[in-house]
Amino acid sequence: MTASLPTWSEKMFQLLRRMNNFYLPGSTMHSVMRFEVEGQQVGWVQPKIATILSRFPDVFTSHGGAISVNRCLDSYAKRSEAVDQVLQELRKDESLTCLKGWRNEKYAVMPRFCETPLMCMERSATSLFGVKRYGVHLNGYSWDDSGRLCMWLGHRSATKQTYPGKLDNLAAGGLAASCGVKQTMVKECEEEACIPACIAEKARPVGTVSYTYEDEEGVFPEGQFVFDLELPLDFKPRIGDGEVQNFYFYPIEKVKELLVTEEFKPNCALVVLDFLIRHSVIQPDTEPYYHEFVTGLHRSL
C-alpha cells in the first residue's frame, strides 16, 4: 500500500518542530551548560564549546553547571573586549564554522530584552553561547484589483552568507546593539527594498515570533519583532543594497503553499505563518494543527 504524501498542515507542523528542535528528545537541552554574566543566565553552551572555552580561564570560569564571564571583567566594555579577543583567536579554529561568517556586527547580550545589556558580542558567535538573537521582520501586503489578499516576498541574493536564493519577507534584519526596533525596521526597508521612511514608518508592530533550534553551530534562541505594512497597490519595491535579487507579489494562497517548500527561508516562513493566523487565512475549525501552530510560534526559554 502506497503511503500518502504529507499534507500542507503536516509539513508546516514538521517545520515548526525543526525550528524548535532544542525542546525535542535527543537535543542537547539536558547536557548544555548555562552561560552566565554577572550571575545572570544569558545563554546556553554545548559541552563541546565549553571544552574550548576552558582554554581561556582569564575570561571564562566553570562552576555548578555554568560557564561564566570572569567576574574580574566588571564592566560592559571590559567583558565585550575580552570576549571579542577570545573570539578573534577562535576564528583560527576551522571547526567552528559559524565564525567563518564573521559579520563585524555586534549583538547585545542580556537576560531579557527589557533589561540592560551586560556586554555585546559578534553576531556570528552568538550561537556558540546560545545567546538570544533579536531581529525585525516586515510583512508587506496589499489587495489586488480583484480584492485578493497578496503579499510581497523578497528573493535573497545567491551570494548571501545564509540561505542564499531563498524566499524571504519583504524586509528583515538583525537587531544590532544599541539600535531601536522601529529604527532597524525602517533602515532595513530603505536598504533592502527602497521603501522610503515616510511609508515604512506607517508599519504597525503586531507582535513577536520566538523559537529555539540547535545545529552543529550551536544553540539559536531567536525572537523576531514583527511588523505589518499595507502598501499602496501601485507601490513596487526596488532592489537596494543587493541582499535581495528580486521581489514577487503573490496571492496569499500561493504564498501559503510556498511556505512548506525548500524555497522558503525557515524562520521567515514562521513569520508568514503568524500573518496567516492573525489575518484569518487559516482558522481553528479548518486547520487541525491550529493550536500547535500558535504555540510553536511563541516558544521562549
For the chain, domain boundaries: 8-23+133-296, 33-129
Asked if 172 and 188 count as a contact pair (C-beta separation under 8 A), the reply is yes
d(CA 187, CA 172): 10
Q: What is the pLDDT of residue 254?
A: 98
Count the neighbouring beta carbons within 10 Å of the beta carbon of residue 205. 13
Work out the percent of the chain whose per-residue pLDDT is above 70.
Answer: 99
Would you say 255 and 263 are in contact if contact means Cβ atoms under 8 Å apart? Answer: no
Q: Under 8 Å CB-to-CB from 161, ≥6 apart: which residues?
A: 101, 103
pLDDT of 3 above 80: no
- Closest listed residue to residue 248, CA positions, set 202, 200, 203, 193: 193
- As beta bridge partners, residue 63 has 66
In the prediction, which pLDDT does 162 show?
A: 87
Q: Which long-range contacts (CB under 8 A, 24 or more apart) does 194-199 make?
A: 194/237, 194/238, 194/239, 194/240, 195/140, 195/170, 195/171, 195/229, 195/237, 199/229, 199/231, 199/235
Quickly tell me which residue has 500518502 as its cell: 4
pLDDT band at residue 160, thresholds of 50, 70 and 90? confident
- Contact (Cβ atoms closer than 8 angstroms) between residue 58 and residue 83: no
Contact 192, 154 (CB under 8 A): yes
User: d(Cα 54, Cα 240) in Å, to the nearest integer?
Assistant: 43
What is the rounded average pLDDT for all residues in the chain? 95
Q: Report whether 264 contacts 258 (CB < 8 A).
A: yes
Q: What is the CATH number of domain 33-129?
A: 3.30.750.160
Question: Mind listing the pLDDT tens digit for each residue in 27-76?
Answer: 999 999 999 999 999 999 999 999 999 999 999 999 989 999 999 999 99
8-23+133-296: CATH topology: Nucleoside Triphosphate Pyrophosphohydrolase (3.90.79)
Per-residue pLDDT band for 161 (boundaries 50, 70, 90) equals confident
Residue with cell 565585550: 80
Report the pLDDT averaged over residues 128-150.
96
pLDDT above 60: residue 17:
yes
Q: How confident is the model at residue 1 (pLDDT cuts 50, 70, 90)?
A: low
| Residue 243, pLDDT score | 85
Strand ranges (DSSP E) for the chain?
Answer: 33-37, 40-45, 60-63, 66-69, 106-109, 119-122, 133-143, 149-156, 167-168, 171-174, 204-215, 218-230, 244-251
Question: How does residue 94 score in pLDDT terms, banded at 50, 70 and 90?
Answer: confident
